[in-house]
Amino acid sequence: MSQAVSYSIQDRVGVISVNSPPVNALSQPVREGILDAVRQAQRDDSEAIVLHCQGRTFIAGADITEFGKPPREPHLPTVLGALENSSKPVIAAIHGTALGGGFEVALACHYRCAIASAKVGLPEVKLGLLPGAGGTQRLPRIAGVKAALDIITSGNPVAAGKAHDMGLVNEIIEGDLLEGAIRYARELVESGAPLKRIRDIVIDPATIEPGFFEQARKRVNARARGQIAPDRIVSCLEAAVELPIDQALERERELFRELVTSPESAAMRHIFFAERQAAKIKGLPKNTPEREIGKAAIIGGGTMGGGIAMCFANAGIPVTLLEISDGALDRGMKIIRKNYGITVKRGKLGEDDVKRRMGLIAGTTDYAEIADADIVIEAVFENLELKKEIFAKLDATCKPEAILATNTSYQDVDAIAAATSRPEDVLGTHFFSPANVMRLLEVVRGEKTADDALATVMKLGKRIGKVCALSGVCYGFIGNRMLGGYGREAQLLLLEGCTPQQVDSTLERFGMAMGPVAMGDLAGLDVGYKARQSRGTAGDDPRPYAVSTRLVESGRHGQKTGAGFYRYDSETRKRIPDPEVEAMIREEAEKFGIERREIDADEIIARCLYPLVNEGAKILKEGIAQRASDIDVVYVFGYAFPAAKGGPMCYADQVGLKEVYERICGFQEQHGGKNWAPAELLRELAESGGSFAEWDRGRV
């Protein structure tokens, strides 16, 4: 037996114990260990078998690091076959999260018991995969096809209580899990309970409404955003209804193999590990002390400040919202209440939860009342002088060791820190709007930010449900700095021959949640207009802003005014192409002497996305981002870049950096100017046949 699995007999029950930290993933030694133990149990005098895991969780799935490498025996289906065909009842004892291959192992057992805090699920779709060890066949046999489809295509876990109600878990154990599981096993033996093999259940095709799968396929494909796994999952469930189980399992295996070798799954696995990697700060010792965060304060109760306050309250951390006047405070609190109200309406939160969370949010207009906060986050509008003033006040009021953070999107964090006598306690926490929804938190490290302050905030980010990525100080940090070229090229494409809908639908087909032109309408065209005026960028190349400026000046500010680049249906907010705008674009193009031409999807994608890659490469070389994979995390979690493309840097790696580089050089030749000057790092990697992933590996 492998070291990862041990076997003993307790009270005439064979106990297979998996111990493979951190999450008992089904690596080769675990698979081999379980197989050996089940075989041994067939030969000894045990009367039942309990499969139990040590550490924080039951098996959390296949070992994702093994995908893409040559498979090693025993394969998971062999292990499952041994469990299912055992001559003695096998009981899975679940705690933590039985996910993916882990839940599939449990489904191959004859019975499942779990503690109340446990969860089960098949999250493979989140890795661009489908459950490849019988999950698509066994789950619908006990949960029903519809419930199985929901669970597998959403990838969301099911809590033990609900799983029990659905028949996925047979018994909820109170107290010690292993003791309870052995007791349950004895009861089963003594009552002569049968060996329940889920595979023996037959799904009656007559129970499936006509057109069910066709509709399911349409539904999943409509929101697939470049993912192919949801479609293949529907095929597997269809097979569960139509084919005998062995043939259906073969079909599942075949489709799993297609997915595991697909670029989509490689990209999604990349993001899985990138997310975890991004939380780690290079050069920071593991034992860096962390400050206690028991109380937070937010300066500014606008949309951002309110959203950030909600993040703290949602995580159970008391938070005080500070505003300049009672009226402003009142408005801020009202917005928060309204937002919670929407969540209640959607059935995602109960009234009691809202009450508890609102109870954690206090309001004040007095700095003295936030003096004892462990962290203060300033979220007022983007004015450096105002921010400096606030930080000087915080410096004078807050207790020593308090972390002073700014939610600025582009101001100089070092200049803000210099307004205090304790720049080591100052850093940036850049939330994304709406702050209570968007997962990304860019943590900005100032020149003098102390290690322990940084480590504390990275940990706090996870506690409030965020995915953290570290950025150095520069204009716009990682995400917004890169975005400039993306928006610019989208606008230039309009002048050169595209319609807004052509640009948007091409990028949406690529997988972006919303195309760049429609995104401008959503954010408000007046925002950029005002920023351009205050920065005095009139001297810059006017072409990328020309149409937008005309739209704003004619009262078309985007969705909020019912029209921008598109017109919007007042009820559905559906965008409607507008010939008036198309005429305006043609006029502007003519003014600049631009000859309009046919532009294909391939050029639209390269023109919009390669600037992200190019700027990303500069950011990497400058050390603003720690890793290329951190940049991918920023884009997937903060800018809705499709996970199935892995973020801009992973996408560039998949295309091949040589091709990306040559294309950028081609655009530079075609369009001239500094916009397309290729990044040095991109050139180096392209010329040496390297990739961003390799660059990361050399520098982690």
Distance in angstroms (rounded) separating the CA atoms of residues 306 and 207: 48
Least separation, in Å, of the C-beta of 79 and ligand 3H9?
10
CA 181, CA 13: separation in Å to the nearest integer? 10
CA pair distance 205, 208, nearest whole angstrom: 6
Q: In angstroms, what is the minimal distance from the CB of 104 to ligand 3H9?
A: 6
Q: Cα separation of 453 and 425, whole Å?
A: 6
Q: Interface with ligand 3H9 includes 159 (CB under 6 A)?
A: no
Q: 60 vs 198, which CB is nearer to ligand 3H9?
A: 60
- Report which of 590, 484, 589, 581 is spatially closest to residue 532, judged by C-alpha positions: 484
Q: Which is nearer to ligand 3H9, 121 or 476 (CB)?
A: 121
Joined together, the tokens standing for residue 228 give 């192919």
Figure out which of the listed residues 33, 61, 305, 428 binds ligand 3H9, where binding follows CB under 6 A.
Answer: 61
H helix or E strand, kind and range, residue 605: helix 601-621
Strand partners, 431: 441
Query: Which one, 229 or 319, has the nearer CB to ligand 3H9?
Result: 229
Work out how close the CB of 133 gets to ligand 3H9 at its nearest, in angstroms, rounded to a whole number: 5
8 Å CB contact between 594 and 496: yes
Tokens of 530: 């005002």
- Taking the least distance from each CB to ligand 3H9, the nearer of 275 and 588 is 275
32, 47, 104, 252: the catalytic one is: 104
Nearer to ligand 3H9, 127 or 390 (CB): 127
Counting contacts by CB under 6 A, is residue 160 touching ligand 3H9?
no
Using DSSP, state whether 213 is helix, strand or coil: helix
Among 14, 89, 132, 300, binds ligand 3H9 (CB under 6 A): 132
Which residues are paired to 26 by β-bridges?
62
Q: Which is nearer to ligand 3H9, 228 or 450 (CB)?
A: 228
The stretch near ligand 3H9 (CB under 6 A) out of 94-102, 143-151, 334-342, 532-540 is 94-102
Choose the stretch contacting ligand 3H9; rule: CB under 6 A; options: 18-26, 174-182, 286-294, 468-476.
Answer: 18-26
| 38 lines the binding site for ligand 3H9 (CB under 6 A) | no
Pick from 3, 8, 10, 65 the residue near ligand 3H9 by CB under 6 A: 65
**Binding to ligand 3H9, residues 354-383 (CB under 6 A):** none
Residue whose CB is less far from ligand 3H9, 272 or 367 = 272
Q: Does 64 bind ligand 3H9 (CB under 6 A)?
A: yes
How far the first Cα of the chain sits from its last, in Å, is 35
* Closest distance of CB 504 from ligand 3H9, Å: 32
Smallest gap from Cβ 117 to ligand 3H9, in A, equals 13
Residue from the set 109, 125, 127, 636 that interacts with ligand 3H9 by CB under 6 A: 127
Nearest-angstrom CA–CA distance, 424 and 408: 18
- Please identify, using beta-carbon distances, which residue of 450 and 455 lies nearer to ligand 3H9: 455
CA-based nearest residue to 39, from 93, 89, 83:
83
Contacting range for ligand 3H9; rule: CB under 6 A; set: 122-130, 222-230, 588-596, 621-629:
122-130
The piece of 17-25, 215-223, 339-347, 649-657 that touches ligand 3H9 (CB under 6 A) is 17-25
Q: Where does this chain touch ligand 3H9 (CB under 6 A) — which range of 129-137, 197-205, 394-402, 691-699?
A: 129-137
Q: How many angstroms separate the Cα of 92 from the Cα of each of 57, 188, 196, 343?
A: 12, 13, 13, 36
Interaction between residue 124 and ligand 3H9 (CB under 6 A): yes
460/452 Cα distance (integer angstroms)? 12
Pick the stretch among 22-30, 356-364, 388-396, 498-506 that binds ligand 3H9 (CB under 6 A): 22-30
- Which amino acid would we find at residue 33? G
By CB under 6 A, is residue 100 in contact with ligand 3H9?
yes
Q: Which residue number, 127 or 394, has a Cβ lying nearer to ligand 3H9?
A: 127
Whether residue 110 contacts residue 99, with contact meaning beta carbons closer than 8 Å, is answered with: no
Report angle CA 507, 127, 650 to the nearest 5 degrees: 50
Cα–Cα dist 384/390, whole Å: 10
| 255 burial level (CB within 10 Å; 0-12, 13-18, 19+) | buried
Nearer to ligand 3H9, 57 or 548 (CB): 57
Q: Please name which of 615, 613, 601, 622 lies closest in space to residue 660, comparing C-alpha atoms.
A: 613
Is residue 215 classed as helix, strand or coil in its secondary structure? helix
Answer yes or no whether residue 472 interacts with ligand 3H9 by CB under 6 A. Answer: no
24 or 471: whose CB is closer to ligand 3H9? 24
Q: Is 468 in the site for ligand 3H9 (CB under 6 A)?
A: no
- Helix 680-688 to helix 601-621 angle, to the nearest 10 degrees? 100
Minimal distance in Å, beta carbon 273 to ligand 3H9?
A: 6
The residue annotated as part of the active site, out of 32, 84, 124, 252, is 124
The binder of ligand 3H9 chosen from 99, 427, 450, 483 (CB under 6 A): 99
Q: Nearer Cβ to ligand 3H9, position 63 or 489?
A: 63
- Interior angle at CA 605, CA 599 and CA 607, nearest 5: 75
Site for ligand 3H9 contains 76 (CB under 6 A)? yes
123 CB-near residues (< 8 Å, 6+ apart): 61, 99, 100, 155, 156, 157
> Using CB under 6 A, which of 63, 264, 395, 496 touches ligand 3H9?
63
Contact call for residues 642 and 512 (beta carbons, < 8 A): yes
Dihedral sign, Cα of residue 137, residue 140, residue 143, residue 149: positive
Question: Is 124 in the active site?
Answer: yes
DSSP letter for 65, please. Answer: G
H helical segments located in 524-600: 525-535, 543-553, 579-591
Q: Work out whether 123 is an interface residue with ligand 3H9 (CB under 6 A).
A: yes
How far is the C-alpha of 35 from the C-alpha of 16, rounded, in Å?
Answer: 10
Binding residues for ligand 3H9 restricted to 244-283, rule: CB under 6 A: 273, 276
What is the C-alpha to C-alpha distance for residues 170 and 91, in angstroms, rounded to an integer? 10
The phi, psi pair for 640, rounded to 5°, reads: 55, 30
Outline where DSSP puts E strands in 200-337.
296-299, 319-322
Of 34-42, 132-140, 447-455, 578-586, the window that binds ligand 3H9 (rule: CB under 6 A) is 132-140
Give the torsion sign (CA, 558, 562, 567, 568). positive
- Rounded to whole angstroms, how far apart are CA atoms 359 and 353? 10
Please tell me whether residue 300 binds ligand 3H9 under the rule CB under 6 A: no
Pick between residue 32 and residue 104 the one whose CB is nearest to ligand 3H9. Answer: 104
Asked if residue 292 lies in contact with residue 455, where contact means CB atoms within 8 angstroms, the answer is no
Tokens of residue 341, six digits: 């109200």
Binding span for ligand 3H9 by CB under 6 A among 56-64, 196-204, 631-639, 658-666? 56-64
CB of 23 to ligand 3H9, least distance (A): 4
In this chain, which stretch among 54-62, 205-213, 305-313, 357-365 interacts with ligand 3H9, using CB under 6 A?
54-62
User: How many residues contact ligand 3H9, by CB under 6 A?
Assistant: 26
Choose, by CB under 6 A, the member of 36, 47, 104, 395 that binds ligand 3H9.
Answer: 104
Q: What is the total residue count of the chain?
A: 700
Q: Are 428 and 405 spatial neighbours (Cβ–Cβ below 8 Å)? A: yes
Of 128, 131, 140, 646, which one interacts with ligand 3H9 (CB under 6 A)?
Answer: 131
List, by residue number, the catalytic residues.
104, 124
Residues that bind ligand 3H9 (CB under 6 A): 22-23, 25, 57, 60-65, 76, 97, 99-101, 104, 123-124, 127, 129, 131-133, 135, 273, 276
